[in-house]
Amino acid sequence: PCGGTDWRVVRLGTDIGLVCLTCGRRVLIPRGRFIKQVKALLQRGPDSPPAPEA
């Protein structure tokens, strides 16, 4: 709706959660659609720490 082209990935899984950096809108899209539509990665965030072993 706002026309923004920059998004932040906030969730990874079967669906990809994105937040628009222009208006703050949150969306979930299927991973396959995301992979087809992404044009470039501008910045990669820090890697998550490894899960503790039980």
Report pLDDT digits (tens) over 2-41: 888 888 988 888 899 999 999 999 999 999 998 898 888 7
Q: Which residues contact 45 (CB under 8 A, 6 or more apart)?
A: 9
pLDDT grade for 54, boundaries at 50, 70 and 90: low
Confidence (pTM): 0.70
DSSP one-letter string for 3-51: ----EEEEE-SSEEEEEETTT--EEEEEHHHHHHH--------PPPPPP
Domain boundaries, the chain: 7-37
